[in-house]
């Protein structure tokens, strides 16, 4: 069975600074996807970034990047130049999204 652990229930960062959200996972799959989703107060789930496990290069989407450590089963999300609109719940997910972490509430301090 897959498990996904987000050890930070809440994180706070000053606007324009960088923050890293942690995620560890466990899966018996040899090939899989990893995702970070953002859920703002509107409740809509929004895909932030995706990583394919067979790719060694870390995925990047504008201000969002990941640090994917396959051997350590670690998949952290780095948000650079934090903006007020980044405030949301962030969920890490493994494989086809069958397993989600419990989420990290990100607060942006103006």
Partner 1 sequence: NAGVTQTPKFRVLKTGQSMTLLCAQDMNHEYMYWYRQDPGMGLRLIHYSVGEGTTAKGEVPDGYNVSRLKKQNFLLGLESAAPSQTSVYFCASSAWGEQYFGPGTRLTVT
* Contact footprint for partner 1 (CB under 8 A): 6, 9, 33, 35, 43-45, 47, 50, 52, 91, 93, 95-103
Cβ proximity to partner 1: between 34 and 79 the closer is 34
* Cβ 17 to partner 1 shortest distance, Å: 26
- Name the region of 43 (left: φ>0; alpha: ψ -120 to 50; beta: rest): left
DSSP state of 56: -
CA dist., res. 31 & res. 4, Å (int) = 16
Cβ proximity to partner 1: between 38 and 73 the closer is 38
* Cβ 52 to partner 1 shortest distance, Å: 7
106 strand-pairing partners: 11, 88
How far lies 102's CA from each of 4, 40, 93, in Å?
8, 15, 10
Closest CA to 9 of 96, 107, 86, 95: 107
* Cβ 26 to partner 1 shortest distance, Å: 15
* Cβ 41 to partner 1 shortest distance, Å: 12
Cβ proximity to partner 1: between 14 and 62 the closer is 62
Cβ proximity to partner 1: between 58 and 80 the closer is 58
């Amino acid at each position: 069975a897959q498990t996904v652990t987000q050890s930070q229930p809440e994180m706070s960062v000053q606007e324009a600074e960088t923050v890293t959200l942690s995620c560890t996972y466990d899966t018996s799959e040899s090939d899989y996807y990893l995702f970070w989703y953002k859920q703002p107060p509107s409740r809509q789930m929004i895909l932030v970034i995706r990583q394919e496990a067979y790719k060694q290069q870390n995925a990047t989407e504008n201000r969002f990047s990941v640090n994917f450590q396959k051997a350590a089963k670690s998949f952290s999300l780095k948000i650079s130049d934090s903006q007020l609109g980044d405030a949301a719940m962030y969920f890490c997910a493994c494989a086809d999204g069958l397993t989600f972490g419990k989420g990290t509430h990100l607060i942006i301090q103006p």
